Amino acid sequence: MESWCKGGVIYQIYPRSFLDSTGNGIGDLQGITSKLDYVSGLGVDAIWLSPFFMSPMKDMGYDVSNYTDIDPLFGNLDDFDSLIEVAHKLGLKVIIDQVLSHSSDQMPFFQNSRTSQTSEKADWYVWANPKPDGSPPNNWLSMFGGSAWEWEPMRDQYYLHNFLISQPDFNFHNLEVQNWLLNSSKFWLDRDVDGFRLDTVNYYFHDQQLRDNPASSISRIRPPTNLYYMQNQIYAINQPENLLFIERFRSLLDEYTDRTSVGEIGDIHRPLEIMADYTCDNKRLHMAYSFELLGPKFSPSHIKETVEKFFDSSINSWPCWSFSNHDITRHVSRWSNNQVSKDRFAKLTGAILLSLEGSISLFQGEELGQLETELEFEELTDPPGIRFWPENKGRDGCRTPMVWKGKEQYGGFSTNKPWLPTKEIQKEHAVDLQETEPSSVLNFYKKMLSFRKEHKDLKTGRIKFVKIDESLLFFTRGDQKKIACLFNLSTDPITVEVNEYEEIANSPRQNAELNKKNLTLEGNGFIFLKSK
């Protein structure tokens, strides 16, 4: 029996921003549970919960201090168990984040490790001596700015942190570390979670020789202020040992029934090949995603090249595609060119994403056509945004609260001031304003998700690109009675000859007219056809 995750649709929930049930301005597990009927009603297969573990919240939960307990901000283990129970009754699978590459510096293991080179956990993190001049052991950089090394005077050594100084990297070359992390994941499997999203899954191991990274040949595309991308991270990440640990992780999942995994691949040099490597041969991850479709490029040729390159890398691998998530500017705002209107563009991009071969991840609010929130400096909470403002505004703009009720002060998210603001332009996209409007983005997503479920070829059928130019994205799904998917990514009308196809009854469409053998797509129009 084929797993639900192959071709399935995952709805990402950012717990801090979904629904506040206690009135403290921060979303929580009970709030999520109370809205699972809404999520189920969309027609998705699973939810992915961003971290809710014990944490000092220096990086909003991606700095874990206790891997087997809930931070009181979000509730407790009973709340989590109730969430699982309700989700399963509604037919929703539950995937949770696992942040294994690094912990918080408040983690008891790190507190012990930093005290001396002979402490009980001395080898649980990555430590190194300074160079003779006192400088860090190599040139590795942190994703969040500056050196990836921080001096610890108690221990008289540097420790590695690929992210914040308060996020020291585990030493995966220590088998005890691997075993402990696997056991912490087993804790959640035993609580009936259906799988994991693995944060920075290609960052686990480092080069033990600590060789310098070379300069990047594509550093010219780096984001503003971030020197990290001036290096090719061939020694800091992507080590061959990583794949062996992934196989161990998969073996753990396979001890349970129908559990899944999706890995986040962070790399700008060969992300699609790494995605394929990490998901091949049914012994590694079930699926993975990179940032190729989460970046600034949006064109028929880029989508074609991305999808084809992945499947050319390995026919036995499986991707998970997304256009938005908690780390990236929302795509309706990010791809601001060639939009006839925001809502029409939101439907177009939703139709494209939900037609691609692979599994799909939707970020909360994406089904509303939600926009990036423009924030003032004093409203920021995200460390990169605070450090590099205004050239880099950080990730807060996509993380603002879900808007449930357009007329309420805080959008129905909370009864008190939220941790990030809810602004008027976001409230215009509220759930209650869209539910009763047949032509809304929300109701389009429901129709499109239903259409994908009804047609197996849209879930697992092979993709074949038929015709691509600067405006037209045209591909088919399946081998026999093919489904043809045609999208106009420009604002100008285009005409295509499609004499071998006919329209699928009641299929989603937008500004498309089929006249015998000719199809006219207005700006941002799309249509689904089938072989005659």
Taken in order 406, 409, 412, 418, is the CA torsion positive or negative?
Answer: positive
- Joined together, the tokens standing for residue 68 give 């087997």
- Joined together, the tokens standing for residue 483 give 């489904």
Nearest alpha-carbon partner for 101 in 76, 67, 77, 70: 67
442 close to 39: Cβ distance less than 8 angstroms: no
**DSSP character at residue 222:** P
* Cα–Cα distance measured from residue 95 to residue 88, given in angstroms and rounded to the nearest whole number: 12
Query: Active site residue: 79, 199, 267, 277, which one?
Result: 199
Count of C-beta atoms within a 10 Å radius of residue 501 = 22
The vertex-31 CA angle with 29 and 33, nearest 5°, equals 70
308 tagged catalytic = no
Nearest alpha-carbon partner for 198 in 244, 265, 264: 264
Burial zone of 506 (CB within 10 Å; 0-12 exposed, 13-18 middle, 19+ buried): exposed
102 close to 199: Cβ distance less than 8 angstroms: no
Burial zone of 491 (CB within 10 Å; 0-12 exposed, 13-18 middle, 19+ buried): middle
SS3 461: coil
255 tagged catalytic = yes
- Joined together, the tokens standing for residue 503 give 């329209």
* Cα–Cα distance measured from residue 446 to residue 431, given in angstroms and rounded to the nearest whole number: 13
* Cα–Cα distance measured from residue 126 to residue 135, given in angstroms and rounded to the nearest whole number: 16
User: Can you name the residues that pair with 360 across neighbouring β-strands?
Assistant: 9, 321
Q: Name the packing angle between helices 300-313 and 271-278 (round to 10°).
A: 40
Strand arrangement, sheet containing 127-128: 127-128, 157-160, 149-152
Nearest alpha-carbon partner for 463 in 451, 478, 448: 478
* Cα–Cα distance measured from residue 264 to residue 243, given in angstroms and rounded to the nearest whole number: 14
Amino acid at 211: R
* Start-to-end CA span in the chain (Å): 31
* Cα–Cα distance measured from residue 273 to residue 309, given in angstroms and rounded to the nearest whole number: 8
Half-sphere exposure of 132 (CA within 13 A, CB side): 0
Amino acid at 260: T
Count of C-beta atoms within a 10 Å radius of residue 392 = 17
Nearest alpha-carbon partner for 8 in 187, 193, 195, 192: 195
Query: Active site residue: 133, 255, 378, 391, which one?
Result: 255
Q: Which positions are catalytic?
A: 199, 255
